[in-house]
Structure 1
Amino acid sequence: MSGNLPAQSVTADYAQRVADDLAANRGEQERVRTELARLQDELVRLEESEQVLTKMQEVLGGTPKQATKQRKGGKGAAVPAARGSDRKKTAGKAAASAGRKASKKTVSPKKAGEPTWLELTTAYLGGQSEPRSAAEVAASLTEAHPERTVQVTVVRNSLEQGVAQGRLERCKQGRSVFYSPTAPASVPSGS
């Protein structure tokens, strides 16, 4: 029986190393996901800024084609145009970005009249009594909106966009990330 002890000890050591490596791997995955979400948020903001600047250029008499040519000639590779770049959508998004419109549209394409993923996630979390993970939000949205294809990555990115805009709060518990709506700011009276 004493011959099994070293084998059990080696097995336990390997099991602990694998558990440690798995924990490190998951932590790195979460770090990369967070960075990816931050970069996607930054890209959305840059695309929105581009649309506002393009609209301003049109108003001032310049042509947006000049800016596109300059952009494409930079590094030899063509940069794709922003999604939804027809004039009507561009004007609507530019107005929303400039704060001249009450409802903000996202860059992702959607059918007319459908709420954005950011609106759906924010509304869902607003009705919850405790923070939820991206997977929980995605599962609830899948159930509530069977006509729409719900992807956890899209939901996570929308949640991170909500955090970036100050609509949602992010909290970490161990390696898990949970989201909840921000507390409404009190409006000073007499203004």
Structure 2
Amino acid sequence: MPDSKTPTTELTSQYMAQVGNDLERNAKEQDRIGAEIDALQEQLRALQHDHTVLTNMRNALGVTDTATQPAPEADATPSVPRQKATPQSGAGKRVRAKKTATAQDTEAVKKPAAKKPEAAAKATAAKTTQPTLVELIRRHLTDQSEPRSAAEIATALGQAHPDRNIKTTVVRTTVEGLVAKSHAQRTKQGSSVYYTTTDAQAPAAAAPAADDQAEVS
């Protein structure tokens, strides 16, 4: 009897170990996909914001173009049918004169109003010149003398930019993209991962060389 129970116990242990590994891989995959979804959502919000700004600018430019076009009534007035009687011809001239004056007044009213949407579009465009998350991360890493983790970067950027909802998962995905493009470097200390910018590596590497030359001399 003891011999028959031993294989069953070993098989159960193997299943438990496999299930534990599968659960761990599943949790990591959920974290990875969740971070990608957060990054995509932030990119979508940025694109929607840019779309709104561009639409407002296009509408403003469209209003300006319409206001500067000549009134169609002024060009169409010469094509008046011939009048049989002199009094009717004079009445037609008065009607044309009234139409021309009305068109000129309408154009004079539209021109000052067309400047407002253009100014509003310029002001809106000026507000959109905010740095992207990639630029903020690269600037932060460049200013740091030591490697920083994704959580530390997210905390620092959140304090510096409280109006932007900066999450650690989004920062980690973004900085990993910089690592893939060789714009940042990843180092691992135990179970923690830290990041530095590649721009800061050159001065640090040149310093030991200068010290070696000084020792040789």
TM-score, normalised to structure 2, is: 0.42
Computing the radius of gyration from Cα coordinates, the structure with the larger value is: 2
TM-score, normalised to structure 1, is: 0.47
- Higher helix proportion: 2
